[in-house]
């Protein structure tokens, strides 16, 4: 096989797991010592070393997606103050604004500074800390700056081999994790996955998907065929005391996939009221014409990830709101009311169609 640069790689079979590259914003100072991205274990080791060597007391995080949020929690628990600079009004844009507002409240209660609607413009040496980040809303100093505005699939090697690249920019594969070349397989963040709800090929770089694809690729390479059915978009992160999780499509993705989404927001409790009050907010998105569930998002102190996983299986199996409104779930007062928030949300959304 001839590479585009003229070099040759001799191989009988190639398995690619080239992952992602962190997106580095185009602004001065991103190459300064103390400016990091977080993409792999090596990055984490470098970050920890820098924090220790500089006796870091404050970190500026650029980007309030779930990696930035998780890092704010990790740094906070290590005794390091954090400022998150985010381009939008609320963190975690994938979630409904009402749920992201709960996350923002949790951040602020935990002492994390969140600078909303701010565009980072430059990083330079700091006066009272190692570095200073200038934005259109003012400047913030920190001993380390973390860039967490996103990642993109690393398809450079794939391109140089002439492999088909999908619309997402990730390597196109079939259900066996085989690329457009018969003897080249790809797995993980660098390649696409079939989304069972949108019925499109997507790139969602998450560790659990990568693990599954890796095993499927390995099985096929090893001669024990296995297909990877796909994903439904399940994801979660913890933010201090909050569980945050989502699955399926957002309304925007639903429209892009040809559905007519309707949605609602339901506030309920993780447990029966006499057992305490543990608020959960849950957004459901469904297709107006078929009544099928398309997506769900939830935030709360307890019982969130379990419910989103429950709904992930409903998405996997293509259940509609009528079925979800009457699902048999394991009721006991410490874990839910007799009608769970899942039932209430699904029935309420069904009535609105």
Residues near a copy of itself, by CB under 8 A: 196, 206-212, 228-238, 243, 245-247, 303, 305-314, 316-317, 319, 323, 326-332, 334-336, 338-340
Q: Provide the minimum distance between the beta carbon of 305 and a copy of itself in the complex, in angstroms, as a whole number.
A: 5
**Cα 132 from Cα 34, distance rounded (Å):** 11
Residue where the block lists tokens 């492999």: 163
Judged by CB, which is closer to a copy of itself: 104, or 319?
Answer: 319
Residue where the block lists tokens 């996350």: 103
Judged by CB, which is closer to a copy of itself: 179, or 297?
Answer: 297
Q: Kindly state the DSSP code that residue 148 receives in the 8-state scheme.
A: -
* Cβ-proximal residues to 58 (8 Å cutoff; 6+ apart), any chain: 80, 81, 82, 83, 129, 141, 142, 143
Of the candidates 177, 187, 238, 239, which has an alpha carbon nearest to the alpha carbon of residue 208?
187
**Cα 111 from Cα 83, distance rounded (Å):** 9
Q: Provide the minimum distance between the beta carbon of 326 and a copy of itself in the complex, in angstroms, as a whole number.
A: 6
Q: Provide the minimum distance between the beta carbon of 95 and a copy of itself in the complex, in angstroms, as a whole number.
A: 13
Judged by CB, which is closer to a copy of itself: 65, or 230?
Answer: 230
Judged by CB, which is closer to a copy of itself: 154, or 243?
Answer: 243
Judged by CB, which is closer to a copy of itself: 131, or 282?
Answer: 282
**Cα 115 from Cα 72, distance rounded (Å):** 13
Q: Provide the minimum distance between the beta carbon of 303 and a copy of itself in the complex, in angstroms, as a whole number.
A: 7
Q: Provide the minimum distance between the beta carbon of 142 and a copy of itself in the complex, in angstroms, as a whole number.
A: 25
Q: Which residues partner with 184 through β-bridges?
A: 14
């Amino acid at each position: 096989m001839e590479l585009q640069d003229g070099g040759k790689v001799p191989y009988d079979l190639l398995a690619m797991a080239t992952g992602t590259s962190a997106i580095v914003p185009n602004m001065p100072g991103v190459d300064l010592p103390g400016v990091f991205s977080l993409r792999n274990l090596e990055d984490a080791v470098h970050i920890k070393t820098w924090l220790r060597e500089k006796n870091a007391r404050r970190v500026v995080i650029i980007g309030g997606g779930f990696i930035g949020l998780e890092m704010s929690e990790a740094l906070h628990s290590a005794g390091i103050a954090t400022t998150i600079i985010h381009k939008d009004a609320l963190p975690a844009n994938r979630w409904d604004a009402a749920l992201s507002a709960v996350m923002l409240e949790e951040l602020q209660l935990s002492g994390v500074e969140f600078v909303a609607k701010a565009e980072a413009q430059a990083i330079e040496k700091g006066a009272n800390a190692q570095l200073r980040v200038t934005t259109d809303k003012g400047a913030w100093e920190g001993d380390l700056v973390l860039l967490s505005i996103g990642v993109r699939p690393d398809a450079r090697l794939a391109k140089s081999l002439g492999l088909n690249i999908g619309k997402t920019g990730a390597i196109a594969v079939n259900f066996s994790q085989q690329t457009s070349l018969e003897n080249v397989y790809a797995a993980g963040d660098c390649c696409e996955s079939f989304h069972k709800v949108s019925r499109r090929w997507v790139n969602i770089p998450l560790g659990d998907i990568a693990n599954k694809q890796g095993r499927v690729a390995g099985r096929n390479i090893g001669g024990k065929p296995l297909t990877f059915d796909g994903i439904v978009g399940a994801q979660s992160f913890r933010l201090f005391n909050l569980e945050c999780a989502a699955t399926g499509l957002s309304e925007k993705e639903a429209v892009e996939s040809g559905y007519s989404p309707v949605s609602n927001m339901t506030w309920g409790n993780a447990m029966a009221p006499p057992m305490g009050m543990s608020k959960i907010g849950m957004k459901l998105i469904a297709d107006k014409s078929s009544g099928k569930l398309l997506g769900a998002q939830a935030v709360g102190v307890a019982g969130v990830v379990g419910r989103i996983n429950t709904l992930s299986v409903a998405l996997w199996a293509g259940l509609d709101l009528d079925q979800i409104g009457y699902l048999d779930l394991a009721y006991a007062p410490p874990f839910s009311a007799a009608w769970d928030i899942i039932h209430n949300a699904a029935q309420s959304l069904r009535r609105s169609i």
